[in-house]
Amino acid sequence: MLRIEDLYAGTQGQDILKGIDLEIKPGEVHAIMGPNGSGKSTLSQVLAGNEAYDVTSGTVTYQGRDLLELGADERALAGIFLAFQYPVEIPGFSNEKFLRTAVNAQRRHRGEPELDAFDFAQLAKDKMALMELDPDLLNRSLNVGFSGGEKKRNECFQMALLEPSLAILDETDSGLDIDALRIVSRGVNALRRPDRSVLLITHYQRLLEYIVPDYVHVLADGRIVRSGGKELAAELEQTGYGWLEDMTAGEVAQ
Amino acid sequence: MKTASPDKSLIYQDVFSSGQAAEPAWQRYGALREQALAHLAAHGLETRGDEAWVHGSAGGLAGGEALPVSGLRQTTATGPAALARSHRLVFLNGVFAPERSNVGELPAGAVVQPLSTGGETAQLGGLPVTEATGLVALNALFWRDGLRLELDDNTVLDLPVELHFINDLAGKPGLVPTRNLVQVGAGCQVTVIERHEPGASKLIEQPLTEVICGVGSRVDHIKLVGGAAAGEHFGRTQVVQQQDSRYRSWEIVTGGHLARREIHLELAGPGAACDLNALYMGRGRQRFDLRTRVAHNAPGCTTRELYKGVLDGEARGVFDGLIRVARDSQQTSAHQTNRNLLLSDDAVVNSIPRLEIYADDVKCSHGSTTGQLADEQLFYLRTRGFSPAEARTYLAWAFASEVI
Ligand SMILES: Nc1ncnc2c1ncn2[C@@H]1O[C@H](COP(=O)(O)OP(=O)(O)OP(=O)(O)O)[C@@H](O)[C@H]1O
Ligand SMILES: [Mg+2]
């Protein structure tokens, strides 16, 4: 599905990602954890095609294609979806119009007929029920005045509508209450299929109890410094990231 | 005469004096025309150095080549599509075109007809004129026709009055002034829609609309300047509002090589409220000047002003707004906002929001912002499959949607 090799990327001449290697196979769920500022969001933004970041070396292959060649919209049409850590507000653009345009962009790309407002309303109704989202949010401007939790659930709602092959969730669990966490997890699990993969960025083991990952990675200072199974998350919950400093000190000593 | 360069108004004075005898339209409203002629003789037309043009452009009017066109010509131009239901008057090159118009049934107490028919109405030209008075005199000299809308007290028009101004001079230069009078009594309600398409290049249209809002009346006034053509548009609205009246205006400007829209509005009676909105969207080398002058001359009045611009290519925009609160106009509420979105590095906007306040018990604010599309918003839409062009278009419309 996705292979990242020795990826360096950053902004304003400063590398933030310093040699990432990661392979995600179809059907797998990978979790990325790591301290604040370690580069998790940067990785997700680079994968989604944010031109604010420069890739200075390395390769990213997605479904056999060179991902770095594609613009952000082409990546979206190829099945990559990023749930933003900080969803963007767009006053004056109704959530409904936004979502319908996004769904229709996908359908057009796949050669399917576009949905009119009525058909879309039917589709949206079911998925909103899944996310337990207030239907009124459809008529509001995109993310404007949404609560933190509503923004996150709206991201998941988009994911449910767009049915991506590779879903990247950047701290979608942060700021969610227990019920919302359960709902969001249900949304992700509903998406899981042998031909779809998920990359979860999170700070909390709790999410990983609902969405059980195949692999857990620790990102620190732009590199993956440890990988393991789901038990690694539990271990991190116990130990925190203090050991990272020892490790860096050890490297320096060498 | 304050102009150093040869005064273009001399050309216009000559055209009028030598043509009046042969032009029936110019023989009506004689007092108004004489006054205009005297004004031009004494003051000339404004030139570039004058306050009226400090930030704007006089376009073809500075050259004096566009002479008033005489009468109706044949045209195949169709103009914008008509509303399904309205009292519709169509003007071709400034002259009423009955075959294209459909005024329909009117309630008692309503007059909706071309100015060229019926007796002269004393109210016409009665509103005080400030700024660019030479331009107003030019219109007063040469207009042939336009709307006459008069409503007796408590008359309500359910359907809008829709005016189409279609210009086609087969590529020749020309000046097309039109004049409209909207006079509504106490408690009236009406919506007036002016639809302008400036016509081909070198054509200058110059509509002037006077609006008198009676006590407690409600007037909605929509002015559209559209079409693909490259002509010039100099439009002006003069409004006087009596006690507790409400005047709402929407100016949507997308057409013309150069379009200047002015509103001069006086809140003359206590409790009157105006709501002024505009959206100007330019591209290529289009140039739009939007000007508002609001005078709070009575207590307890309200102004809310929202002007928004979206400019692409090498388009230029000017917003020049002034709200003046007179000394005794206490409990005034006046808020003026201008926001601009520049879609290209070569688009330019000049924003001059102003408040002059001589009363002390007022709530007033003004603000102006000019920015570009936010990269985060563009990126967010692209991650949802919007092409760069689609993302830009949707964001521009999202920005504009607040006005319409
Ligand atoms: N656009 C940018 N301009 C400048 N610096 C940036 C930019 N984006 C990220 N950085 C810097 O790169 C580092 C990594 O940021 P990033 O947002 O990827 O961290 P993170 O691991 O997601 O942190 P958190 O857990 O707090 O979300 C930080 O030091 C951040 O300040
Ligand atoms: Mg982050």
pLDDT tens digits along A142-191: 999 999 989 999 999 999 999 999 999 999 988 888 888 998 899 899 99
By the CB < 8 Å criterion, does B356 face chain A?
no
- Supply the pLDDT for residue A251: 54
**pLDDT greater at residue A238 or residue B223:** B223
**DSSP letters of A157-223?**
HHHHHH--SEEEEESTTTT--HHHHHHHHHHHHHH--TT-EEEEE-S-HHHHHHS--SEEEEEETTE
What does the alpha-carbon distance between residue B325 and residue B314 come to, in Å, rounded to a whole number? 36
Q: Residue A238: pLDDT band by 50, 70, 90 thresholds?
A: confident
What does the alpha-carbon distance between residue B301 and residue B320 come to, in Å, rounded to a whole number? 21
Question: Environment class of residue B25 by beta-carbon count within 10 Å: exposed (0-12), middle (13-18) or buried (19+)?
Answer: middle
Instruction: Report how many domains make up chain B.
Output: 1
- Supply the pLDDT for residue A253: 44
Give every CB contact of residue B25 below 8 A, 6+ residues apart in sequence.
B95, B116, B143, B144, B145
Domain-located, residue B376: yes
List the one residue out of B338, B199, B196 whose CA is nearest residue B261.
B196
By the CB < 8 Å criterion, does B288 face chain A?
no
Domain-located, residue B64: no
Q: How far is the CA of A44 from the centre of ligand 1 (A)?
A: 11
**Of 3.20.20.80, 1.10.287.130, 3.40.50.620, 3.40.50.300, which CATH number belongs to A2-251?**
3.40.50.300
- Supply the pLDDT for residue A242: 80
Q: Residue A254: pLDDT band by 50, 70, 90 thresholds?
A: very low
B159: domain range?
84-400
Residues with C-beta less than 6 Å from any ligand 1 atom: A 11, 16, 34, 36-42, 52, 85
By the CB < 8 Å criterion, does A51 face chain B?
yes
**B56-81 b/e with 16+ CB inside 10 Å = b?**
bbbbbbeebebbbbbeeeebeeebbe
CB B124 within 8 A of CB B181: yes
The alpha carbon dihedral of B388, B314, A91, B192 has a sign of negative
What does the alpha-carbon distance between residue B107 and residue B214 come to, in Å, rounded to a whole number? 18
Helix axes A148-162, A178-191, angle to 10 degrees: 10
- Supply the pLDDT for residue B3: 43
Segment A88-96 mean pLDDT:
95
Residue B6, pLDDT above cutoff 80 = no
What does the alpha-carbon distance between residue A157 and residue A151 come to, in Å, rounded to a whole number? 10
> Domain locations in chain A?
2-251
Residue B84, pLDDT above cutoff 60 = yes
Residue B33, pLDDT above cutoff 90 = yes
- Supply the pLDDT for residue B219: 98
Segment B306-319 mean pLDDT:
96
What does the alpha-carbon distance between residue A163 and residue A126 come to, in Å, rounded to a whole number? 14
Domain-located, residue B273: yes
Residue A123, pLDDT above cutoff 80 = yes
CB contact under 8 A, B385 and A82: no
Segment A201-214 mean pLDDT:
92
Residue B281, pLDDT above cutoff 70 = yes
Residue B2, pLDDT above cutoff 50 = no
Mean pLDDT for chain A? Answer: 92
Question: Environment class of residue B228 by beta-carbon count within 10 Å: exposed (0-12), middle (13-18) or buried (19+)?
Answer: exposed
By the CB < 8 Å criterion, does A162 face chain B?
yes
What is the position in ligand 1's atom list of the atom closest to the CA of A203? 25
- Supply the pLDDT for residue A248: 62
**Could you give the C-alpha distances from B134 to B50, B53, B139, in angstroms and in order?**
11, 12, 9
Residue B4, pLDDT above cutoff 50 = no
The pTM score is 0.88
* Mutational test site, ligand 1, from A33, A42, A53, A244, max ligand atoms within 8 Å of CB: A42
Segment B146-166 mean pLDDT:
97
Give every CB contact of residue B331 below 8 A, 6+ residues apart in sequence.
B299, B300, B361, B362
CB atoms within 10 A of CB B363: 10
Domain-located, residue B3: no
Q: Residue A131: pLDDT band by 50, 70, 90 thresholds?
A: confident
Smallest CA separation from ligand 1 atom 19, residue: A37
Hey, what amino acid is at A191?
L
Mean pLDDT for chain B? Answer: 92
What does the alpha-carbon distance between residue A171 and residue A166 come to, in Å, rounded to a whole number? 16
Q: Residue A249: pLDDT band by 50, 70, 90 thresholds?
A: low
State both tokens at A26.
Answer: 């179809």
Domain-located, residue B126: yes
End-to-end CA distance of chain A: 36
Q: Which residues of B touch A98 (CB under 8 A)?
A: 381, 384, 394
Give every CB contact of residue A34 below 8 A, 6+ residues apart in sequence.
A40, A218, A219, A220, A241
DSSP letter, residue B68: B
Segment B359-377 mean pLDDT:
95
Residue of A nearest to B376 (CA): A88
CB A154 within 8 A of CB A176: no
Residue B49, pLDDT above cutoff 80 = no
**Could you give the C-alpha distances from B39 to B16, B64, B222, B285, B392, in angstroms and in order?**
13, 17, 30, 34, 48
Q: Which residues of A touch B380 (CB under 8 A)?
A: 84, 87-88, 90
Residue of B nearest to A104 (CA): B385
- Supply the pLDDT for residue A171: 93
- Supply the pLDDT for residue B1: 41
Residue A139, pLDDT above cutoff 80 = yes
List the one residue out of B169, B201, B184 whose CA is nearest residue B95.
B169
Residue A250, pLDDT above cutoff 60 = no
What does the alpha-carbon distance between residue A80 and residue B37 come to, in Å, rounded to a whole number? 71
